[in-house]
């Protein structure tokens, strides 16, 4: 039975790195928004596969190849179940960035006639529009800029209110009959705000546009049901949700994936090849050319099982409490400006902030000297920083293994940095 109370002592014991010291202090890891730590169970799953099952999947006819293929496809089914979709609606990618690029380039291929009549809805040309938001990570902005440049489509942007919330009033006028794609983040990696998916999906589908959801900051922290959200495509990365680097997933509705022309081509994604033409497998295999990230997929599946065993509602509640504590603590420090909405708005347990008179890199270094790891810079989201008059910020992001005491240590260190750099006078 899932509860909303986490056994932090037990959970933290699963993460070897949390027992180390950094610069003579117990290690405090508050940078899970960038990449998460990995529990022993995930490390063991990948090691077990490499030691006992290494083989080429979907290719060999020998026993170990068959076992490897079965584990690979079991992993797909496990990850698909975790986000509420069918097995054949999950495409393995290296990360979410690759997933979005896969979509954008496949749409480019459709736009030059590849895919036949089935790919018609993916074709873009002059006069068509792609809609994004001002809060996007570069990975959900630059690929669409490039698609617009290749096809002649126009990129349009939904702006932000001064408190960091999306301008839904603007969205209803930006999304219109020319809109072909609406791509947006579920949770901003800078602002921490949870965007109104239902409202944006409704606006997009009313005009026949495809919805692409960046779920990198929601899949690790919220109970995610992509089918219920009614999005057409979604991406997420394994390394942000206790899994290894080098693996992520693209979700697409089965009928859409089967109609979408492939991007990467080569072995394992074909049915018939002659010297002049090729026929492709249905999804998901048509998007998985070449040797796959097999051990990483197996490890990601184990990561989703670990999250499920603890309970996503419990994780969400724990992080919400840490997030409120973080916002309250930072809000009491003079000269600290938090980017994004306050605690009265639905958000996840992260906060990006600017300390007046101190560069974010210096704040981060001061915290690092105390063994506290945070993120500094523009977090691959320059436009949203520019919107709020900042070139960079310091970001503290929590996860299931963090404690209230760790949040308090980080807040105190931020407060102490003002005295250290002489800006508290």
Q: Which residues are catalytic?
A: 380
Phi, psi of 133 (to 5 degrees): -120, 165
Q: Rounded to an integer, what distance in angstroms lies between the CA atom of residue 222 and that of residue 238?
A: 15
Terminal Cα-to-Cα distance of the chain (whole angstroms): 53
Q: How many CB atoms lie within 10 A of CB 416?
A: 15
What does the block give as tokens for 338?
């938090």
Residue with tokens 């992993």: 75
SS3 17: helix
The 3-state secondary structure of 348-401 reads CCEEEEEECCECHHHHHHHHHHCCEECEEECCCCHHHHHHCCCCCEEEEECCCC
Angstrom distance (rounded) from CA 419 to CA 148: 48
The Cα 293–Cα 268 span in angstroms is: 13
Strand partners, 28: 372
Spatial separation of the C-alpha atoms in residues 144 and 104, rounded to whole Å: 7
**Could you please report the per-residue DSSP string of 147-194?**
HHHHH--EEEEE-B-TTS-B-HHHHHHHS-TTEEEEEEESB-TTT-BB
At 295 the three-state DSSP class reads helix
Residue of 159, 251, 267, 265 whose CA lies nearest to 214? 251
Angle between helices 142-151 and 96-111 (to 10 degrees): 10
DSSP 93-133: ESSHHHHHHHHHHHHHHHHTTTTGGGGGGG---TT-EEEEE
For residue 332, the tally of other CB atoms under 10 A from its CB is: 10
Distance CA 365, CA 403 (A): 21
Do residues 375 and 33 make contact, with C-beta atoms less than 8 angstroms apart? yes
């Amino acid at each position: 039975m899932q509860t909303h109370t986490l056994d932090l002592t037990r959970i933290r014991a699963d993460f070897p790195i949390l027992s180390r010291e950094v610069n003579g202090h117990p290690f405090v890891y508050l940078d899970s928004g960038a990449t998460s730590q990995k529990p022993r169970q995930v490390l063991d799953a990948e090691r077990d596969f490499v030691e006992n099952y290494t083989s080429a999947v979907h290719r060999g006819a020998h026993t170990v190849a068959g076992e490897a293929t079965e584990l690979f496809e079991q992993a797909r089914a496990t990850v698909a179940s975790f986000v509420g979709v069918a097995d054949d609606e999950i495409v393995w990618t290296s990360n979410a960035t690759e997933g979005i690029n896969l979509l954008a380039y496949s749409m480019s291929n459709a736009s030059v006639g590849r895919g036949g009549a089935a790919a018609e809805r993916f074709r873009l040309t002059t006069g068509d529009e792609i809609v994004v938001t001002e809060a996007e990570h570069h990975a959900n902005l630059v690929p669409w800029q490039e698609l617009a440049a290749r096809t002649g489509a126009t990129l349009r942007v939904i702006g932000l209110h001064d408190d960091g919330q999306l301008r839904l009033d603007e969205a209803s006028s930006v999304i219109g009959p020319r809109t072909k794609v609406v791509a947006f983040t579920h949770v901003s990696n800078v602002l921490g705000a949870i965007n109104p998916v239902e409202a944006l999906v409704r606006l997009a589908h009313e005009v026949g546009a495809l919805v692409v959801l960046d779920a990198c900051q929601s899949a690790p922290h919220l109970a995610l049901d992509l089918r219920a959200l009614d999005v057409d495509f979604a991406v997420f990365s394994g390394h942000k949700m206790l899994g290894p680097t080098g693996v992520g997933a693209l979700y697409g509705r089965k009928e859409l994936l089967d109609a979408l022309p492939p991007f990467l081509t080569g072995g394992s994604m074909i049915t018939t090849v002659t010297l002049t033409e090729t026929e492709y497998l249905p999804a998901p295999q048509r998007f998985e050319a070449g040797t796959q990230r097999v051990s990483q997929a197996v490890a990601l599946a184990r990561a989703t099982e670990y999250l499920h065993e603890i309970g996503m509602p419990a994780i969400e509640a724990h992080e919400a409490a840490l997030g409120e504590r973080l916002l309250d603590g930072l809000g009491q420090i003079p000269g600290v400006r938090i980017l994004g909405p306050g605690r009265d708005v639905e958000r996840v347990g992260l906060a990006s902030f600017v300390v007046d008179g101190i560069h974010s890199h210096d704040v981060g270094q001061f915290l690092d000297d105390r063994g506290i790891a945070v993120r500094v810079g523009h977090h691959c989201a320059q436009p949203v920083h520019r919107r709020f008059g900042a070139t960079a910020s310091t970001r503290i992001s929590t996860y299931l293994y963090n404690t209230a005491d760790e949040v308090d240590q980080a807040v105190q260190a931020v407060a102490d940095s003002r005295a250290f750099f002489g800006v508290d006078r």
